[in-house]
Amino acid sequence: MLHQVAADHLEKGLKSGDDFHHILQGFRNRKTLDFYLKLRKTLIDQKLVLSPPPKEGGEKAWATNLVNLFFSFASNKQREFGAYK
């Protein structure tokens, strides 16, 4: 049930980087390639929503947020997908 809620959020579009972090953290042990590919597509397609361009003086916070998005994506990546190792 929670997986379906997360998948629906991905389909409708995420509102912030925190949504992306929460989904990654909650489903890091779910070893499905299709869900991982949806997360990757969301990161690429919604990059301006997840990490909006910085306003003057906010470059450091923007860079930190961007690094956190990529780090979260990389560190919560599934290590194995089904029968493929």
Neighbouring C-beta atoms of residue 70, cutoff 10 Å: 11
Residue 58 lies in a domain: yes
Check residues 39 and 1 and name the one with the higher pLDDT: 39
Residue 40 lies in a domain: yes
Taking only the tens place, the pLDDT of each residue in 32-63 is 777 778 888 888 888 888 888 888 888 998 88
Contact 43, 20 (CB under 8 A): yes
Provide the number of structural domains found in the chain: 1
The structure's pTM equals 0.66
Residue 37 lies in a domain: yes
Q: Which domain holds residue 44?
A: 2-71
- The pLDDT of residue 42: 84
Residue 15 lies in a domain: yes
Residue 44 lies in a domain: yes
Residue 77 lies in a domain: no
Residue 78 CA to residue 28 CA, distance in Å, equals: 6
Q: What is the mean pLDDT of the chain?
A: 78
